[in-house]
């Protein structure tokens, strides 16, 4: 028995020390300050990740505007169909996108009805990203109609939401938000996203970053080539008038605010804050932001200056190939660097350019870094709106921590008092197991990198109650065996062995319920489920193994000659 007891004591001691070090041990070389009250408090703050409700921070519920995304996709595809028809020499009267409610269609009207079947089959093959599974074609007279299928609308909406989450995640991580929670919210058809940022003191910065678009396009300007100056128009109306009063699908009219730095053509810098002019560009773009590989803010001013920055970017191989071929064929032409439908700069092409370029402008260091970040992370597939916004201040989070800790301490004190009064010495046995259960639960939270929330504290308190319940089952079973005339050693053995099955049954049922809460619940509910399950698993060790070891030690101390038991 002594050998068995020694093994048990060693196992319990090792587990306890490991648990204490995980909870209270600093994650750097220990110093004397780490073991002062302030040092221990600081270590606990670093080791235990607190959720939004305890640490303070921001809670945002966003919705991806899928309808707008599908509308833009329809318009872009219609433009591609028109371009393909021109390239193949079909006599087409018009190609127009039609959006009515949740219906998205592309309508082609031909002057020659006999070519309709041929155009229905050939045009989609010439349009990039024209997925035949997305569009269902029908013909009538001299018209071909491609309509987006219901399955495609659902799949594209889901993909837009997931893409938005990836981009939001990359932007949030780039600015160093610690342990953010990012997940889908509500039903899949709602296209909502939940973002929680514990400890975020400037949520408006995050909102500004998330809503910032980063649609980069490199487009040819409709203008005489250099050395003639770039063709601009003082008003949008004049630019549209130059196209005959209507903007065709292969042209776009964009605002252009000339910069105050010299151009590659050697022209004099324009006055700062000059009013916008307008330029006409060819549509579609030569390359767009999807072909971007990297973007960095680069200083173009004096060393240490906060102004005079530009964005240098490089393209992926596929984009570089297209860009290289285009620039080689358009030496001398003006190229518009378009960001979010506004021309940022319009240099002329001096020679072939392959995989790199730059966006010039009056950027400060912060604005250039922010723009480079949004370009690197990619453009959001669709606009997002905010449905819900809550901010929890650090003081409110601290109040929640104090309230939660107070509840734990009071609950623990009452449980300890009840156990000691009712079960006497055996109650102290339960108290020791209870303390170790709490330590191991916190250690498991840290090991699994879980976040402690206010519902999580409730899970810990409930876990304490379940741990006490296990001890009560064991102690009452021992009492029954003693009342039936069993000796103390026999009563202890029978009490533990017969109560064990009941303990396992209760724990398994609660663990299964907690798994359902974790799988189907939201953040706070999942936090409750995690701490409850961890507490129950720790309880199987403390209530059964540790408590029995204490009884074995008591029997060993009296050499097995125990006539009565304080229980």
Residue 538: CB atoms within 10 A of its CB come to 24
User: 335 and 358, same structural domain?
Assistant: yes
Q: Kindly report the CATH number assigned to the domain that includes residue 296.
A: 3.30.1360
CA triplet 528, 533, 538: central angle to 5 degrees? 130
Supply the DSSP symbol for 544.
I
Are the CB atoms for 551 and 492 separated by under 8 Å? yes
The mean pLDDT value for 521-540 works out to 84
The pLDDT, as a whole number, for residue 436 is 92
Task: Return the minimum-mean-pLDDT range out of 72-81, 261-270, 506-515, 551-560.
Answer: 261-270
- Closest among 414, 436, 417, 437 to 428, alpha carbons compared: 417
pLDDT in tens, 59-105: 888 899 999 889 988 988 888 888 889 888 898 899 999 999 899 99
The count of C-alpha atoms lying within 13 angstroms of the C-alpha of 426, restricted to the half-sphere facing its C-beta, is 23
pLDDT at residue 396, as a whole number: 64
Tell whether 231 and 133 lie within a shared domain: no
pLDDT (0 to 100) of residue 198? 76
HSE-up of 432 (CA within 13 Å, CB side)? Answer: 16
What is residue 270's DSSP assignment?
Answer: P
pLDDT at 242: 92
Which token pair is 547? 């408590």
Last residue within a domain, chosen from 314, 341, 363: 363
Any domain includes 253:
yes
Question: Are residue 269 and residue 230 in the same domain, yes or no?
Answer: yes
Tell me the whole-structure pTM to 2 decimals: 0.55
- 23 — phi, psi (to 5°)? -80, -45
Residue 267 confidence (pLDDT) above 50: no
Say if residue 170 is exposed, middle or buried (CB neighbours under 10 Å; 0-12, 13-18, 19+). middle
- Is 484 inside a domain boundary? yes
Higher per-residue confidence, 357 vs 96: 96
Average pLDDT, integer, range 313-320? 78
The domain that holds 80 is classified in CATH as 3.30.70
For residue 190, the tally of other CB atoms under 10 A from its CB is 16
**Residue 254: pLDDT band with limits 50, 70, 90:** very high
pLDDT for the residue numbered 272: 44
Q: Which domain holds residue 247?
A: 216-363
> What is the average per-residue pLDDT within 248-262?
72
Contacts of the segment 519-524: beta carbons below 8 A, 24+ positions apart: 522/185, 522/194, 523/51, 523/181, 523/183, 523/194, 523/196, 523/453, 524/51, 524/53, 524/453, 524/454, 524/455
- Sheet containing 181-185: order of strands: 181-185, 192-198, 57-64, 384-392
What whole-number distance in Å separates Cα of residue 383 and Cα of residue 394? 31
- Per DSSP, the three-state class of 224 is coil
Given strand 103-110, what is the order of strands in its sheet?
92-100, 103-110, 143-148, 135-140
For residue 153, give the nearest of 188, 107, 108, 193 by alpha carbon: 188
* Residues whose CB falls within 8 Å of the CB of residue 476, separated by 6 or more in sequence, listed in order: none
Residues 6+ apart with CB under 8 A from 434: 412, 415, 416, 464, 467, 468, 471, 542
Listed in sequence order, the DSSP H helices in 424-522 are 425-447, 454-483, 488-520
In tens, the pLDDT along 218-243 reads 889 999 998 898 999 999 999 999 99
- Counting the structural domains of the chain, the total is 3
Nearest to 312 by CA among 289, 300, 295: 295
Per-residue pLDDT, 487: 85
Kindly state the percentage of the chain with pLDDT values over 70. Answer: 87
503, 463: one domain: yes
Mean pLDDT taken over the chain: 82
Could you read off the pLDDT of 119-128 as tens digits, one per residue? 999 898 888 6
Task: Give the pLDDT confidence score for residue 58 in this predicted structure.
Answer: 81
Residue 259: pLDDT band (50, 70, 90) is very low
pLDDT in tens, 426-476: 888 888 988 899 899 999 989 888 878 888 888 888 888 888 888 899 999
pLDDT confidence of residue 303: 54
pLDDT of residue 52 exceeding 80, the answer is no
Q: Find the helix packing angle between 150-174 and 365-377, rounded to 10°.
A: 140
Q: Could you tell me if 270 and 356 lie in one domain?
A: yes
Does residue 130 or residue 234 have the better pLDDT? 234
Distance CA 178, CA 200 (A): 8
CB distance 194 to 184 below 8 Å: yes
Tokens matching residue 534: 């961890």
Q: Which residue has the higher pLDDT, 191 or 166?
A: 191
Q: Are residues 488 and 552 in the same domain?
A: yes
Token code pair at residue 393? 């201040």
Q: Are residues 348 and 410 in the same domain?
A: no
pLDDT above 80 for 285: yes
Same-domain status, 552 and 421: yes
DSSP E strand boundaries for 29-152: 49-50, 57-64, 92-100, 103-110, 135-140, 143-148
Last residue of a domain, one of 139, 154, 169: 154
- Residue 511 falls within a domain, yes or no? yes
CA angle, 272 then 276 then 279, to 5°: 125
Is the per-residue pLDDT at 40 higher than 50?
A: yes
Same domain, 494 and 434: yes
């Amino acid at each position: 028995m002594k050998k068995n007891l020694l093994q048990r004591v060693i196992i319990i001691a090792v587990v306890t020390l490991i648990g204490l070090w995980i909870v209270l041990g600093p994650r750097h070389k220990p110093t004397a300050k780490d073991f002062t009250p302030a040092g221990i408090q600081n270590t606990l703050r670093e080791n235990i990740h607190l959720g939004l409700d305890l640490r303070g921070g921001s809670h945002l519920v966003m919705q991806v505007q899928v309808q707008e995304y599908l509308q833009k996709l329809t318009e872009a595809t219609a433009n591609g169909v028109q371009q393909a028809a021109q390239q193949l020499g079909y006599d087409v009267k018009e190609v127009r996108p039609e959006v009515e409610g949740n219906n998205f269609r592309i309508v082609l009207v031909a002057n020659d009805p006999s070519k309709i079947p041929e155009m229905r089959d050939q045009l989609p093959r010439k349009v990039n990203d024209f997925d035949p599974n997305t569009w269902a074609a029908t013909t009538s007279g001299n018209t071909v109609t491609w309509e987006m299928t219901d399955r495609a609308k659902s799949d594209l909406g889901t993909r837009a939401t997931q893409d938005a989450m990836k981009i939001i995640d990359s932007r949030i991580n780039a600015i160093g938000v610690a342990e953010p929670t990012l997940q889908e919210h509500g039903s899949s058809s709602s296209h909502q996203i939940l973002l929680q940022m514990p400890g975020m003191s400037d949520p408006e910065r995050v909102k500004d970053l998330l809503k910032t678009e980063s649609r980069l396009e490199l487009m040819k300007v409709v203008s005489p080539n250099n050395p003639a100056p770039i063709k601009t128009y003082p008003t949008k109306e004049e630019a549209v008038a130059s196209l005959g009063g209507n903007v065709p699908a292969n042209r776009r009219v964009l605002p252009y605010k000339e910069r105050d730095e010299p151009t590659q053509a050697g022209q004099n810098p324009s006055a700062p804050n000059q009013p916008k002019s307008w330029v006409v560009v060819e549509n579609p773009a030569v390359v767009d932001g999807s072909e971007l590989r990297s973007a960095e803010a680069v200083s173009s001013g004096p060393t240490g200056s906060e102004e005079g920055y530009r964005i240098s970017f490089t393209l992926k191989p596929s984009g570089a190939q297209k860009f290289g071929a285009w620039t080689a064929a358009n030496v001398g032409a003006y190229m518009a660097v378009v960001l979010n439908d506004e021309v940022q700069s319009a240099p002329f092409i001096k020679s072939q350019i392959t995989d790199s370029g730059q966006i010039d402008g009056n950027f400060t260091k912060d604005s250039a870094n922010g723009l480079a970040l949004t370009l690197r992370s990619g453009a959001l597939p669709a606009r997002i709106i905010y449905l819900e916004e809550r901010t929890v201040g650090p003081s409110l989070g601290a109040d929640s921590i104090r309230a939660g800790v107070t509840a734990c301490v009071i609950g623990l004190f009452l449980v300890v008092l009840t156990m000691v009064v009712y079960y006497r010495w055996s109650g102290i046995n339960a108290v020791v197991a209870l303390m170790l259960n709490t330590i191991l639960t916190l250690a498991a939270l840290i090991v699994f990198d879980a976040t402690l929330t206010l519902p999580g504290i409730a899970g810990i308190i409930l876990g304490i109650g379940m741990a006490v319940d296990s001890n009560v089952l064991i102690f009452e079973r021992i009492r029954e065996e003693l009342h039936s005339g069993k000796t103390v050693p026999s009563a202890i053995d029978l009490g533990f062995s017969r109560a064990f099955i009941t303990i396992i049954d209760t724990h398994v049922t609660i663990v299964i319920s907690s798994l359902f809460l974790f799988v189907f619940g939201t953040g706070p509910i999942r936090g409750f489920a995690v701490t409850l399950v961890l507490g129950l698993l720790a309880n199987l060790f403390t209530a059964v193994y540790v408590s029995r070891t204490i009884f074995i030690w008591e029997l060993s101390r009296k050499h097995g000659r125990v006539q009565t038991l304080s229980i």
